[in-house]
Structures are given as C-alpha cells and as structure tokens.
C-alpha cells in the first residue's frame, strides 16, 4: 500500500539498493544480481529469470541457485508450471502451496515438490504487449507472499524488465546506468511513442522501447521528454522517413 | 452477478418510491457488508459500488480508480462506457479532477466543466468530458486517515453543485468501500488485488501502444487514434483491450478500414506539403 508517488520511489530506491549491493563484479549490473537480491530479500529460497527468445542479452536464463535452474528446466520440459502460463495482460501466478496445484500442472508439480519446492511465484516481465521474460521465485516451505513482499516483487519485476531491455540496447553497461530514472514512467506518452517508433523502424514493440530508452540515456534526457518529442512529431527514429508508404 | 439480488431497482427496494435516500443507503450498506464476508470478489464489489452510486446519489455515471502497488491509478470500475472513457482519459493524460483528488486527498467538486476556471485547470480533460456528455464531475478520495487508496468519481450530464445530503451519502459509501478494500488487502486477498491491478495496468499500456501504432500508420494524433479504437470497438462489439492487441499483432481490420476512409485527406495533405 502506498500513499503517493514518494512512497513508491522509496520502495524502488530500496529495491535498487538491494540489487546494487548484491552485484559483486566490476561488470554491468545484470539480471543475475536481481535474482540474487530477490532470493536474499523476499523471504524466498531462490529466484530465476527466463528471457524470451529474440531478446539478445547473452543468456536465456539467470538463476540464484541450482534448484531455481532445475525448476525452470522442469517447466520447460513439461511445458507447464507457474512460469509457463500464458500471462495474458500480466497477472502474476502466485502459488503459496505448490502441492495444492498438482491437478493444474500434473506434469510439473510432483517433480518440483520432490525436488524441494513448496511454493512458487511467477511474474511476467511485461508492459502491455511487450513481454521479455518471467521472474520466478520459490520457497522450500509453503506460504504466500505478504502484501509488502508482493509490492517489492512487483518492483523487482519492473527493474528486471528494464534491465533486459537496456541490456539488449547495450546501455546497461555504463557506470552511470540506473534503471530507476524511468521506473515510474508508465506514462501514456512513453507507450504511444513506443508504438510509433515500432512502425517507423519496422521492429517489435520491445525493440522500439529499448531504442527509445537508449536514445534518452545517450542524450541524458528524461524518457518522458524524448517520448513527447516523438509523439509531437519533432523527433523521428528513421531519419529521412516520414513519407507515407 | 449480485448474490440473491433481484434485477431492477424496483425489485431491489420494495416500495422504492416511498423509500428515502437514507433507507436505500442503509439497504446498500447491508448489501455491501454482505459481500465483505465469504467469497469476496473485489471487482464485483467495486462494480456494485459504482452502480449503487448512480442509483443512490442521482448522478448519471460513476467510476472508481484504485492505486496499484506502485501508486499508479488504475481504472477498476465504471457504470457506463462514457465514464470508462473519461476515466481512462484522465489516467492517460495525467490530468483531471480525479487525479487531483487522489494526490491531495481532498474532494474535488466541479459543478460545471464548461466554466472558465475548470477549463483552465484541466484544458484537455474538460474537452474530453464534454465530448462524452459530462458537465459536472465530482471526485471523492477513498481515504482512511493519511492513506489514500483511490477515488470515487461521479459524473453528471447537467451542471450540478452536489447537494450536501448527497455529498454526505457519497462520503458514507466511499468510507465503507475504503474500509472493505483495506481489510481485504490486509488479509488473504492482496494477491488477487495485485493481480487485478496488474491486469488493469497492462490493459492501459496495451491501448497506448496501439494508439501509437495507429497514430504513426494513419497520421493522426494519439487522441484521434483512441477515438478510432473506441468507435471500432463499439461498432464491432469487440472489447477495447482485445482490439488493441489485434492492432499490435497486425490482425485487426481497423487500420485497413480507416485507411480507406482517411485516404482522400492524406492525399490532399501531401499535395499541400
């Protein structure tokens, strides 16, 4: 529960602080650090992120531990499980007691439980029609996420979505990189501009959003400002374009 | 939809003509309290609340906005399509009395959207509201002490000052709804609420993405694109978010049919360039 925008950015700053602290090497902060921080801070035993094919970020899977990796493999093999759901419009799949979902995923739950997972939570990394992957968490004991944990998890998912987009655009490697500047940019203009750029460049919405974010980052401008330039037709991503096909 | 409630207000309130607002309000409280026990469905509760607002408060439409875990307002219920459009417009354009009410935690009463003051304060929203036929807009925060979780919004098709008795009744409805929602969020249902708000968020984003695609393909503004989506959705009886998904995947007939209609204008624009 939040009272206003300030509380939200406090939560976002807190979560980003956890992720930055979990990040040890000198390289760019990656989704691996998101998984590690999630496992440490959310009262869960492991976290993993699977990346949709087509998004070139180097790895299809990030996981905090071996059981997380195994759970992803089991779901991939069975073609079912919390992280293998359709996620139309992005509602998370939250299973506080995995055993109780045996009938829903008969090809996955028995093996997952035998391997040691008792609760699983899957969150699509999604913004409208853009889907880049899934964040999955598991617990060795049954139990739901608390309201506070769930609010944190949503922020983790937001950051993972942005990190993956920014990694694909090659901007997450900079020492000054911070995904938080745009975390609250759910503003309409950003997604309108994303749709426009996807048409201008003939690319997917995910790539269009990555390009928009990269442009804002490279010009040290706010994402919303660059998006506004696009929507007001002062900026195009296909120089020389603009004539009707 | 409503457990055990006969359809139509005459059936729901025996002797409706004689029943006072207070009596009907009391009946609604019982009904709302009833939904707070047992199989609580937040969305059903909110839709019922929006409908009761219209009946009890004698307004023409009502809408409810709730904040998600990030503090972003999401549309969760609207009594009419027009109210839905107006509520979405506010969120999309980050402008309007309901947003101001959420941010300040205070009621925002606008008896006449056409008045100079309202038009100056919310220039885009005032136009959108009038296009949807709304003249009066009243936003009441859903608030418990310092915590504001959303707003209840009342729309009228004629200028309306919001009578003090009606305002008191509205306040009472908002309070019971707020307590109900907070209680549910504090207990087992917070997962469901978070999921539903996440769906509301993505529904909104998907519409924005489709607007952008239409704006670029058809050379229209995002606002014009939204009207095209809305009209096509209504004419073809196809839900707005599904239509937006079709536009994005390139499977909607909307672009082709609109191009056919817009072509003469586009050609003359090019000639003038």
Tell me which chain A residue has its CA closest to the CA of residue B200.
A89
B9: exposed, middle or buried (C-beta count within 10 Å: 0-12, 13-18, 19+)?
A: middle
| Chain B stretch 186-215, residues whose beta carbon is closer than 8 A to a beta carbon of chain A | 186, 188, 190-191, 194-196, 198-199, 201-215
In chain B, list all ranges with CATH 3.30.450.40: 9-188
In angstroms, the separation between the Cα of residue A233 and the nearest Cα of chain B is: 10
**What is the CATH classification number for the domain harbouring A194?**
1.10.10
Task: Please indicate, yes or no, if residue A243 is contained in any of the structural domains.
Answer: no
Task: Please indicate, yes or no, if residue A123 is contained in any of the structural domains.
Answer: yes
Q: Which residue segment(s) compose the domain that A194 sits in?
A: 185-231
Q: Do A150 and B191 touch (CB under 8 A)?
A: yes
What tokens were used for A61?
């899977």
pLDDT at B120 over 70: yes
Among A62, A56, A75, A81, which residue's Cα sits nearest to residue A172? Answer: A56
Residue scoring higher pLDDT (B70 or B107) = B107
Hey, how many other C-beta atoms are within 10 angstroms of the C-beta on B234?
Answer: 11
Sheet holding A46-51, edge to edge: A61-63, A46-51, A130-139, A119-127, A93-95
| Chain B stretch 133-162, residues whose beta carbon is closer than 8 A to a beta carbon of chain A | 146-149
Residues A54 and A100 in one domain: yes
**8 Å CB contact between A185 and A194:** no
Residue scoring higher pLDDT (A189 or B108) = B108
Residues A158 and A192 in one domain: no
Residue scoring higher pLDDT (B193 or A78) = A78
CA pair distance B235, A93, nearest whole angstrom: 34
Residues A19 and A130 in one domain: yes
The predicted pLDDT at position B10 comes to 40
Tell me which chain A residue has its CA closest to the CA of residue B205.
A128
Query: pLDDT by residue (tens digit) across B59-77?
Result: 999 999 988 776 778 888 8
pLDDT at A101 over 90: yes
Hey, how many other C-beta atoms are within 10 angstroms of the C-beta on A51?
Answer: 22
Least-confidence region, from A48-52, A54-58, A209-213, B146-150:
A54-58
Q: Average pLDDT of A28-38?
A: 88
Residues A107 and A190 in one domain: no
Q: Do B71 and A8 touch (CB under 8 A)?
A: yes
Query: pLDDT by residue (tens digit) across B6-48?
Result: 344 444 444 444 467 677 777 777 777 766 665 556 667 777 8
- Tracing tokens 């402008």 back to the chain, one arrives at B95
Given pLDDT bands bounded at 50, 70 and 90, which one contains residue B184?
low
Residues A12 and A74 in one domain: yes
Q: Do A231 and B148 touch (CB under 8 A)?
A: no
Residues A76 and A139 in one domain: yes
Domain tally for chain A?
Answer: 2
**8 Å CB contact between B255 and B218:** yes
What tokens were used for A175?
């020492």
**8 Å CB contact between A32 and B180:** no
* Range B9-188 has CATH code 3.40.50.1820: no
Q: What is the ipTM of this complex?
A: 0.88
CA pair distance B45, B1, nearest whole angstrom: 10
Q: Do A151 and B198 touch (CB under 8 A)?
A: no
Where do the DSSP E strands lie in chain B?
61-67, 73-78, 108-110, 136-144, 147-156
Least-confidence region, from A105-109, A148-152, B148-152:
A148-152
pLDDT at B97 over 70: yes
In angstroms, the separation between the Cα of residue A184 and the nearest Cα of chain B is: 8
Q: Average pLDDT of A111-128?
A: 95
pTM of the complete model: 0.74
Q: Which residues of chain A lie closer than 8 angstroms to B266, CB-CB?
A: 244
The predicted pLDDT at position B37 comes to 60
Q: Is B148 helix (H, G, I), strand (E, B) or coil?
A: strand
In angstroms, the separation between the Cα of residue B103 and the nearest Cα of chain A is: 7
| Chain A stretch 9-68, residues whose beta carbon is closer than 8 A to a beta carbon of chain B | none
Q: What average pLDDT is seen over chain B?
A: 81
What tokens were used for B77?
């219920």
Hey, how many other C-beta atoms are within 10 angstroms of the C-beta on A227?
Answer: 30
pLDDT at A76 over 70: yes
Residues A225 and A126 in one domain: no
């Amino acid at each position: 529960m939040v009272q206003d925008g300030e509380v939200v950015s406090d939560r976002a700053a807190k979560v980003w602080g956890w992720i930055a602290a979990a990040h040890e090497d000198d390289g760019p902060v990656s989704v691996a650090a998101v998984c590690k921080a999630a496992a440490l801070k959310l009262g869960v035993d492991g976290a993993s992120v699977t990346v949709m094919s087509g998004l070139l970020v180097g790895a299809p899977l990030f996981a905090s531990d071996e059981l997380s990796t195994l759970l992803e493999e089991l779901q991939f093999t069975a073609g079912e499980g919390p992280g293998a759901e359709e996620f139309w419009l992005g509602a998370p799949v939250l299973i506080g007691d995995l055993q109780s979902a045996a009938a829903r995923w008969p090809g996955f739950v028995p093996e997952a439980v035998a391997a040691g997972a008792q609760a699983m939570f899957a969150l699509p990394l999604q913004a409208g029609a853009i889907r880049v992957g899934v964040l999955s968490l598991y617990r060795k004991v049954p139990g739901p996420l608390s309201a506070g944990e769930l609010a944190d998890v949503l922020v983790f998912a937001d950051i993972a979505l942005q990190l993956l987009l920014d990694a694909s655009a090659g901007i997450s490697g900079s020492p000054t990189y911070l995904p938080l500047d745009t975390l609250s940019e759910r503003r309409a203009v950003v997604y309108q501009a994303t749709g426009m750029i996807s048409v201008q460049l003939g690319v997917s919405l995910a790539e269009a959003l990555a390009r928009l974010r990269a442009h804002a980052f490279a010009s040290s401008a706010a994402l919303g400002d660059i998006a506004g330039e696009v929507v007001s037709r002062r900026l195009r991503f296909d120089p020389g374009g603009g004539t009707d096909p | 939809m409503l457990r055990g409630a006969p359809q139509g207000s005459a059936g729901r309130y025996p002797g409706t003509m004689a029943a006072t607002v207070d009596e009907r309000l009391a009946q609604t409280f019982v009904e709302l309290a009833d939904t707070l026990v047992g199989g609580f469905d937040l969305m059903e509760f909110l839709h019922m609340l929006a409908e009761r607002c219209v009946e009890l408060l004698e307004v023409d439409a009502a809408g409810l906005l709730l904040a998600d875990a990030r503090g972003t307002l999401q549309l969760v219920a609207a009594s009419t399509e027009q109210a839905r459009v107006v509520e979405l417009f506010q969120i999309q354009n980050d402008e309007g009395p309901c947003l101001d009410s959420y941010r300040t935690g205070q009621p925002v009463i606008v008896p006449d959207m056409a008045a100079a003051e309202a038009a100056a304060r919310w220039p885009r929203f005032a136009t959108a509201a009038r296009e949807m036929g709304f003249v009066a807009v009243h936003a009441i925060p859903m608030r418990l002490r310092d915590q504001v979780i959303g707003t209840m919004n009342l729309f009228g098709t004629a200028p309306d000052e919001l009578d003090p008795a009606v305002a008191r009744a509205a306040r009472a409805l908002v309070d019971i709804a707020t307590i109900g929602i907070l209680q549910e969020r504090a207990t087992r249902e917070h997962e469901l609420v978070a999921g539903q708000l996440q769906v509301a968020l993505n529904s909104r984003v998907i519409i924005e993405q489709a607007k952008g695609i239409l704006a670029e393909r058809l050379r229209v503004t995002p606002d014009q694109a939204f009207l095209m989506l809305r009209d096509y959705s209504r004419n073809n009886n196809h839900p707005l978010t599904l239509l937006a998904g079709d536009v994005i995947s390139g499977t909607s007939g909307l672009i082709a049919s609109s191009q056919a209609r817009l072509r003469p204008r586009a050609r003359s624009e090019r000639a003038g360039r």
